[in-house]
Structure 1
Amino acid sequence: MTDTHPQIARRGPAQVMRLSRLGSLHQCRLSFMRQLTRRMARENWRFTRPVFDIDTNGVGHAVYTAHGPERAYSLVAFAHDLPPEQRSDRVIAEAWDATFTLFDGIPTTEDIERLSQNVPLQEAGRVSENELSLSRANRSVRLWAYVVDALAAGKQPDPEQIYKVGYLMRTTAVYGSGKFGAADRETTADRPELSAPFQTEMLSVYLTRTFVRDLVQHMAQAKGGDETASLDPAIAQWLGIGNSTGLGMAPFIINHPVLFNNWIMVREEAIARVRSVPHATPDRMAQFRAIFERSRLSVSWWRSDHPVQIDKLAALRTDLDMLTAELTQRDLTEHHPWDALICWSEDHLSEEGQELLASLILEPYGDLVDGLVDCMADSNAGAQMIDGSMSVAQVRALIRQSFDWALDLDWQEQANCARAWYVSEEKLEPRLGERFEEPIAEYEQPLAPARDAAAAYRALEDWADTDKIAAFLLHHPEHRHTIRRAQIGRVAPYGEIRDNTISANVLPIDMLRAKLSFFGATQFDPRSDRWVRICMYSGAPYPDELNTENADLWVYPEALQ
């Protein structure tokens, strides 16, 4: 198929932008990690480790450099001997097992000395415009000790233990875009290799994973000496990097409606293109069936102790059984086979299963969808400007377009406004508190666009259709942010969550998962309704193994070894 204009329309925002569906999204070939590994392999990036100066106590520093076609980027890693009582995943922690920065270029000895005085301090230190990100990580203590002990004794770790946890270290923050003195996003936005969203952070995590593999081998060698075994590459492959993500990430998708719209719209466009394929070739069918079987294996590794995710996983496994049975009898040579399969899923599968299938049908069609990744960044600075010449009638229509579902809600009912978002002075983290039980209302952050849209809509009732919105805002400046969001909806139809973000039953983990799925995360494991652990790059080739043959489908395991 050469026509890139889908005949089957994209799914609409009213269907896609519900929190329960956003909280069921899965990684796909558009995910930021896979974009990066494809690019690095295609462009034949070269990787070196010019420095690895770490002692037998696991203290020191290392440098890993990625050499692209035009520029080089270096992860400068600092390893620390952290007492167990100081280990915490909280953003307010003051010490970590390892700290990192991604340096723009190749650092000199003087650069490393400067960084050694600042990077281990994280927020308490300062980096410069030569640094692109700042991050830190802690060990998964039991798995780390187990792997070190096994290798030191001349044995390989049990693969089942690796699959159960998935990572030896987990990051607790990867900061970019100007935080703590680092280079602003604008510094690198025009570089092809970093123009897509979060490529700086994804490169930092990719190199961090290699450092963690090397460090655990180094620590085993220090303990076991000549008896030490080298970690089996087939086992190391499934060691990703963990991540603990809390409420701090949830406001991001509310505060960046154009950017989030671009992610969702690109995914929906990709799904629509594949659904519009009139006939599937035998080769495409075979690719899909193979990836489907590999995805079943991946799901079988997925564990969680959280009640919500336990139920979703049970439903997903039932979905996969139903889908397996359907694929056994379904003829994928029928007219518009992928559309027929998606339509079937909407009648038979949970949202978790529907969204996994929607991701999987993209896999055989890289030629149709991969080019869309160039549309995922936000370069539309003008979208933030309020058009004061617009009439009140036009603005009312825009509010109805994005928030019609919210206009009839009783916003005086406590259940509809039970929560309030605020920033904790003590913890320096976004928080979601109980509005009617805590004195937090006056500190509330503007993260309830539905409630605010309903309030603006009511205020507009007193104005004539032909009045200019500029006049309204002169009298009601408190509604500027709502009018701006309503006008942004003209270019970002998927920019608004179609659910109440301050209701008594809101699950912030749905927002976290939506964003993390676009990163390419797997193994979502909520630890409460407000924070989640994930795994990144599990299954990916390491830099010394990366090539065009293994750069993309690494996220799907082929078989347990």
Structure 2
Amino acid sequence: MSAPRDIARRSPETVMRLKRLGAFHQSRLSFMRVLTRRMASEGWRFSRPVFDIDTSGVGHAVYTATGPERAYSLIAFAHDLPAEKRSDRVIAEAWDATFTLFDGVPEPENISRLAKQVPLQEAGRIGETELSLSRANRSVRLWTHVVDALAAGRQPDPAQIDAVGYLMRTTAVYGSGKFGAADRETVADRPELELPFQAEMLSVYLIRTFVRDLVEHMAQATGGDRAVRLDPAIARQLGIGNSTGLGMAPFLVNHPILFNNWVMAREEAIARVRAVPRASAAEIALFRDLLARSAHSVTLWKTAHPLQARKLETLRADLAALCALAATDVLEAGHPWDWLCTWSETGLSEEGQELLASLILEPYPDLVDGLAHCMSDSNTDAFRIDGAMPVSDVRRLLQRAFGWASGLDWDKPETCARAWYVSEEKLEPRMGERFDEPIAAYEQPLAPARDATAAARDLETWAADSPIAAFLLQHPEHRHTIRRAQMSRFAPYGEIRDNTISDQVLPIDMLRAKLSFFGATRFDPRSDRWVRICMYAGAPYPEELGPDTADHWVYPQVPE
């Protein structure tokens, strides 16, 4: 029998590099999968009390999800959007559909009020009974193909379904107090919303059901008695697309404790599984099955971006090597998962290593799933600066979190080539060229390593036993950096260990990291600054959701 082995979590120096963060994949701890497992295990009930959509596709619908204690309702508004107004930009003013997640079951007067506000999105206002605000546009080519096919009495072309993967894509799913919605604090103590982004994930899950129903409705309006419904197996292949730009990247920098909790939970799960002395036959069989399904999934992952295309080519080779290795008896030996992960450090690319790290978690729900409850941020005191802390302790914290940056020359143009700012015209975060554009005066504090280097330099002349409050009275410009340093006591994985303003930075790595925790798949960068993804592809619809379908839906079945 194999001896117990104590496996430490991987170090922040290894994990928190942008290249590795940009290789993260969904896992058992991803927020979409946590939600579907909860809804299935708790026996949530779903209904569609309202579907008032006319033959031109205009109207509204209500989808209600009822859990053990509460109900939540997606109110969907469908619009007839002229082609020239369709845009994925945040600053668009009209969409094919707009949505809000209502806390409870809406009365007619609630719907009447929201019908005047939700279609306006940012220009309108919702209230404390609304938990999210979102909108979506059709993937016009696939939408038209599916409507025409169903209206003519046939199923759509599977190749076209695979090529796109969604009938609509959202351009924003807002929550947590934005535009008048309920603040996070008002619902955070509810078990079903305790984890991050659960209201937003529920919104998208119900939006997907509405989109399926709407495309079938439009086919019936066009084809009449000839029309057929979408084959359930084809419908399950369809997710909800999403276009995500630079606005998501600052989130990771601005929420170091929350991001730490996500990464630490994942790293703890990996360490726990690596410490398993022996894998059972059932655990090995599940791993091999999901590995084969992952290899098939990667064949469906399409991208035109050169960088991602190269990563995909490498990942396919990684998976071929991993499948060949897993077919041998290595998994029957002692500590198989630790052996595999150690082998992967030289045998696979970072993309392959991180996919393997996700896959080894799958056979071990008892070791992994409870860690999801550690992924929210309830440490409200961490934001408060401890002014009594001695300068010597602050120096030590700065060195531990940002010592990797001490060798960077911040006077070199390439080291600080970029600057983050908010565009007044577009109302979106932007990254510009510091020395080519007049943006330095508007720079956002999204370069923690540079700021930490400056703070450490100014601290050099201060006595080691001086309270940091005295230093901050003379150098208030360093308050945000000292706060981050003190936060690092509780958040070792809270800081990205790369220069976020260099001429080599790829913001899509930050987007990929965050979206992987959502549970997104099919990352398709359109530049180094925005990406398209797919959400809930393969997931069961409400009428199909149960303990047998709630979890591994993210891995598509390998065709016979």
Give the TM-score range, shorter chain: over 0.9
| Deviation readout 1:208-249 (Å, 9 max, x if unpaired) | 000000000000001000000111000000110000000000
User: How far did residue 328 of structure 1 move?
Assistant: 2.6
Q: Structure 1 residues 388 and 293, CA, compared in 2 at 3 Å: closer, same or farther? A: same
User: How far did residue 324 of structure 1 move?
Assistant: 1.7
User: How far did residue 522 of structure 1 move?
Assistant: 0.1
Q: Counterpart in 1 of 2:552?
A: 553
C-alpha distance in 2, partners of 1:357/1:533? 23
User: How far did residue 335 of structure 1 move?
Assistant: 1.4
C-alpha distance in 2, partners of 1:469/1:392? 5
Q: Does 1:7 align with 2:3?
A: no
C-alpha distance in 1, partners of 2:158/2:272? 39
Q: Counterpart in 1 of 2:106?
A: 107
| Deviation readout 1:6-61 (Å, 9 max, x if unpaired) | 71000000000000000000000100000000000000000000000000100000
Q: Does 1:82 align with 2:81?
A: yes
Secondary structure at 1:414's aligned position in 2? coil
C-alpha distance in 2, partners of 1:336/1:413? 47
C-alpha distance in 2, partners of 1:152/1:64? 25
| Deviation readout 1:143-201 (Å, 9 max, x if unpaired) | 00000000011110111211111100000000000011110001110000000000000
Aligned residue type for 1:326: L
Aligned residue type for 1:465: A
C-alpha distance in 2, partners of 1:48/1:143? 27
Aligned residue type for 1:164: A
Aligned residue type for 2:439: I
Aligned residue type for 2:280: T
Q: Structure 1 residues 479 and 550, CA, compared in 2 at 3 Å: closer, same or farther? A: same
Q: Does 1:301 align with 2:310?
A: no
Aligned residue type for 1:183: A
Secondary structure at 1:500's aligned position in 2? coil
Q: Counterpart in 2 of 1:525?
A: 524
User: How far did residue 357 of structure 1 move?
Assistant: 0.2
C-alpha distance in 2, partners of 1:329/1:18? 33
Q: Does 1:38 align with 2:37?
A: yes
Q: Counterpart in 2 of 1:341?
A: 340
Aligned residue type for 2:40: A
Contact 2:5–2:277 under 8 Å retained in 1: no
Q: Counterpart in 1 of 2:95?
A: 96
User: How far did residue 376 of structure 1 move?
Assistant: 0.3
C-alpha distance in 2, partners of 1:8/1:160? 44
Q: Does 1:220 align with 2:219?
A: yes
Could you tell which deviates more after superposition, 297-306 or 321-330?
Answer: 321-330
Q: Counterpart in 1 of 2:183?
A: 184
Q: Counterpart in 1 of 2:330?
A: 331
Q: Counterpart in 2 of 1:50?
A: 49
Q: CA RMSD in A?
A: 1.2
User: How far did residue 449 of structure 1 move?
Assistant: 0.2
C-alpha distance in 1, partners of 2:503/2:129? 45
Secondary structure at 1:364's aligned position in 2? coil
Aligned residue type for 2:35: L
Aligned residue type for 1:55: D
User: How far did residue 330 of structure 1 move?
Assistant: 4.3
C-alpha distance in 1, partners of 2:454/2:306? 35
Q: Counterpart in 2 of 1:158?
A: 157
C-alpha distance in 2, partners of 1:148/1:328? 43
Contact 2:388–2:467 under 8 Å retained in 1: yes
Aligned residue type for 2:31: F
Q: Counterpart in 1 of 2:252?
A: 253
Q: Counterpart in 2 of 1:386?
A: 385
Contact 1:6–1:272 under 8 Å retained in 2: no
Q: Counterpart in 1 of 2:267?
A: 268
Aligned residue type for 1:557: P
Q: Counterpart in 2 of 1:428?
A: 427
Aligned residue type for 1:539: G
Aligned residue type for 2:33: R
| Deviation readout 1:338-364 (Å, 9 max, x if unpaired) | 000000000111000000000000000
C-alpha distance in 2, partners of 1:428/1:6? 52
C-alpha distance in 2, partners of 1:385/1:560? 55
Unaligned runs of 5+ in 1: none
Q: Counterpart in 1 of 2:482?
A: 483
C-alpha distance in 1, partners of 2:544/2:286? 23
Aligned residue type for 1:549: D
User: How far did residue 559 of structure 1 move?
Assistant: 2.7
Q: Counterpart in 2 of 1:361?
A: 360
C-alpha distance in 1, partners of 2:290/2:328? 18
Secondary structure at 1:76's aligned position in 2? strand
Contact 2:242–2:533 under 8 Å retained in 1: yes
C-alpha distance in 1, partners of 2:251/2:436? 26
User: How far did residue 421 of structure 1 move?
Assistant: 0.2
Q: Does 1:316 align with 2:315?
A: yes
Contact 1:32–1:520 under 8 Å retained in 2: yes
Q: Counterpart in 2 of 1:207?
A: 206
Aligned residue type for 1:514: A
Unaligned runs of 5+ in 2: none
TM-score (norm 1): 0.99
Q: Counterpart in 2 of 1:416?
A: 415
C-alpha distance in 2, partners of 1:328/1:551? 27
| Deviation readout 1:80-132 (Å, 9 max, x if unpaired) | 00000000000000000000000000000000000000000000000010000
Secondary structure at 1:237's aligned position in 2? helix
Contact 2:292–2:558 under 8 Å retained in 1: no
C-alpha distance in 2, partners of 1:324/1:372? 28
Contact 1:6–1:273 under 8 Å retained in 2: no
User: How far did residue 325 of structure 1 move?
Assistant: 2.0
C-alpha distance in 1, partners of 2:342/2:391? 39
Q: Counterpart in 2 of 1:471?
A: 470
Contact 1:172–1:243 under 8 Å retained in 2: yes
Secondary structure at 2:364's aligned position in 1? helix
C-alpha distance in 1, partners of 2:276/2:558? 30
| Deviation readout 1:282-309 (Å, 9 max, x if unpaired) | 1111110011011111111001000110
Secondary structure at 2:113's aligned position in 1? helix
User: How far did residue 329 of structure 1 move?
Assistant: 2.9
Contact 2:135–2:170 under 8 Å retained in 1: yes
Q: Counterpart in 2 of 1:120?
A: 119
User: How far did residue 560 of structure 1 move?
Assistant: 3.6
| Deviation readout 1:349-395 (Å, 9 max, x if unpaired) | 10000000000000000011101000000000011111111111111
